[in-house]
Amino acid sequence: MEKKHCIIVTVVISLVIVFVAVVLEITLGKRTFKQEFEYRCSKFESSKKYNCTEIWHEFEKAYVNRDPCKIPMNAYDSLVAAAPFEHAYNKTLFWSKTKNLVRDLTKNRDDVNLEKTLLGSVLDGLTWCGKMGSSETFTKGCPEWNECVNNPPRSFWNRLSTAFADVACEDVTLILDGSIDTPFNPSTTFATIEVKRIKYPKVKSLTVVIVPQKSNCNSESLKALKSALVQGITYNCKEVTEAKIKKCSSDPKTPIGKCW
């Protein structure tokens, strides 16, 4: 009887320990915004060259204790200066509405979309803002993307996209979404920021890649893109099947230019 009692007590204690461990893991596993920022920064492949604590301070200076609808693009100037790009600028890839497809294509290649740079990878998919009278970073109760133009994430992506387009050179690629009517949408970051910043003769050509469905290389929307392009830059457009893009994503030895 004594022995049975002892076993029951041991089992109950073990169960309690497992339960507490699981609860702790769930609560502790959820990083705060700052922890997530620093975790991603330290995980970045060449982060040893950077001081992630300094980058965090430059970042929060842009929006903390400020009206979250009054954060201009240049609030992030010193952040961008603290974490300069270091990729091969002739390997630049832009996208609009095709983020996941581009992520898969560039994953094991040296071609670079903005999310493969330090700041792009650290802030990808995150929402943040500050509030007047507070020194904290908030992730809830922040303005929606279209609620006010000068909200913290929107101004950040505009600022970073400006810097990214400014360093692009030689032959650049743009992957567009053929399943929509306006692949070159005038309200997107690519149309409002990047297309205007890629300059001739630094950039020699722009190759648009599109999986033809609702739209293709002959669509009005692409004609608008061609005319928005800075004069001198050679414009090319390639229609590629989704199967070919998928095959190329799983075969990173094929140079990206041979995918279309």
Q: How far is the CB of 26 from ligand N1C (least distance, A)?
A: 28
Q: Which value, to the nearest 10 degrees, does the dihedral of the CA atoms of residues 21, 125, 142, 131 take? A: 80
Give the sign of the dihedral formed by CA 164, CA 144, CA 183, CA 224: negative
189 binds ligand N1C (CB under 6 A): yes
**Alpha-carbon gap, residue 91 to 117, rounded angstroms:** 12
- Shortest spacing between CB 125 and ligand N1C, in angstroms: 7
H-type alpha helices, the chain: 2-29, 33-43, 52-61, 77-82, 99-106, 118-123, 152-167, 189, 195-197, 220-228, 242-249
* Contact between 157 and ligand N1C per CB under 6 A: yes
Binding residues among 15-34 for ligand N1C as defined by CB under 6 A: none
Nearest approach in angstroms of CB 13 to ligand N1C is 48
- Letters for 108-147 (x = contact with ligand N1C by CB under 6 A, - = none) are ------xx----x---x--------------------x--
Query: Cα(first)–Cα(last) distance of the chain, in Å?
Result: 77
User: Which residues 91-110 are close enough to bind ligand N1C by CB under 6 A?
Assistant: 94-97, 99
Query: Per rule CB under 6 A, is residue 150 in the interface with ligand N1C?
Result: no
Q: Using the rule CB under 6 A, is 190 a contact of ligand N1C?
A: yes
The C-alpha atoms of residue 110 and residue 256 are separated, in whole angstroms, by 9
Q: Taking CB under 6 A as the criterion, which residues in 194-223 touch ligand N1C?
A: 194
Check residue 141 and give left, alpha or beta (phi > 0: left; psi -120 to 50: alpha): left
Q: Does 153 bind ligand N1C (CB under 6 A)?
A: yes
Site residues for ligand N1C per CB under 6 A: 94-97, 99, 114-115, 120, 124, 145, 153, 157, 161, 164, 188-190, 194
